[in-house]
Structures are given as C-alpha cells and as structure tokens.
Amino acid sequence: MVVSFPTETYGDYAALEAYVVGLLPQDRPFAILGESFSGPLALRIAARRYKNLAAVILVASFIAKPVAWVPNFARHILHPLIFRLPIQTPLLRWFLLGRRPPTAMINDTVTSLQSVDPAVLAGRTKAALEVDATKAFVECPAPILYLGGTEDRLISSQTAERMKALRPNLECIMLDAPHFLLQRAPIAAAHAITGFLGRLHPLEATTSGLNQP
C-alpha cells in the first residue's frame, strides 16, 4: 500500500503522522516503510507502539540533518519561489536519479515535482532540515532495516554509520543505487526487504502488509 501525501496543502510531520495513522491496518501484522523525507515519519508512527507493527524500513532516509553540506541557516531562507524555478535535468540525475536513468523516469520525476505546490515543497524541505527523530529511532520498539544507496549524493554518506552507532542491532544493507533507490534498484530492494521480513516473521512474510508513506 503506497500512501500519497496531499500535493496542494502543506502538512508538517505531525499532520502527516495523523494522516498516515488513519490508514494503518488494524487486523494484521504490518511493516511500515519510510522513504527519504518519510523516514522520520515512519519512526514517529512506530513510537506509538502498535501491537501489530512488525518492522520499520528506512530507505535512503535519515533521522536528523539529512544533507551534510547544507548550512543550518538554509532552513530559514527557503522560499516557494525557489521551487518555481525550471527543473534542471542534470541536477535530477546528480542528486536523485543517478547515472543514465531511463528517459521515462526523468519525465515522471519532473511531472511529479511539478504536480506539487511550490509552497508544499518548500515547507517539507524545511521540515526535513529541522527534524530530529533520534529519540524515536533509538527507542523504536520494532526491528529496523536501513536500506541505503552507495551512490546517494543527497543523504550524508555518514548516515548509516551514525545510525549503526546509535542502534547496534540495526540491520543495514547498502545497494549500488542513487537516492531514488527503489526506482533504480527495485529488484535488489525488494529482495532485501522481503529477506529482512522473512527472517523476522517466516510464516507471516508472504501475507503481511507493507505500508510505504
């Protein structure tokens, strides 16, 4: 089940948490997957300690300060006008899509970004730069898989190491992929995720829901 966020109204992490919680299954085990911006959101939801929550999966995500090279003051100068500028394909390749992405994927990414109100993009970028989900990560009651890309130029390269230091039992798998890991390495990602869930819950692995905010 893929959870899509509103594209015309900005919701901070608290608002999006309330939105996603209303969609969670109540009658069966489930895992929740947080991709990129949604990693802290998945951890906030896990902190509610749902009895049916089997695992948390963080994909190309973070718990705090996702982009090491962005100065702290950047969050104070973000403005929707920045997100009204024409989308540059070379930047998409460098930061998100990686080397030689399919043309259709480039077009789909541009269309997706253009479908979101610039004020929403600015607000969520600011929220990502300000969030600190360290406590929720350390105290998460469910097992966590971190799935990262070795070619990710957006998320700090020290993210996985920092997470492992905070939570030694974290399962960490790095794939040869850019920030758009699920899109560029879908088969490898699927194998990593299903393998992780299968090791945790062998009998339920084929029937549990996988919710992705």
Check residues 86 and 79 and name the one with the higher pLDDT. 86
Which single residue is written with the structure tokens 């089997």? 54
Q: What is the pLDDT of residues 93-110, one digit of tens each?
A: 999 999 999 999 999 999
CB-based contact 13:44 (threshold 8 Å): yes
**Any idea which fold 13-211 has?**
Rossmann fold (3.40.50)
Task: Give the pTM.
Answer: 0.88
Among 153, 137, 148, which Cα is nearest to 181's? 148
Sorted by where each begins, the domain ranges of the chain are 13-211
What are the φ/ψ torsions at residue 147 (nearest 5 degrees)?
Answer: -115, 110
> Is the pLDDT score of 206 beyond 50?
no
Q: Write down the pLDDT at residue 194.
A: 95
All residues at 6 or more sequence positions from 84 whose CB lies less than 8 Å from its CB, including other chains: 118
Q: What is the pLDDT of residues 33-77, one digit of tens each?
A: 999 999 999 999 999 999 999 999 999 999 998 875 555 545 555
Please give the Cα distance from 1 to 27 (Å, whole number): 15
Please give the Cα distance from 19 to 12 (Å, whole number): 11
CA atoms within 13 A on the CB side of 131: 28
Q: What is the pLDDT of residues 2-18, one digit of tens each?
A: 998 888 877 789 999 99
Cα of first residue to Cα of last residue in the chain, in angstroms, is 9
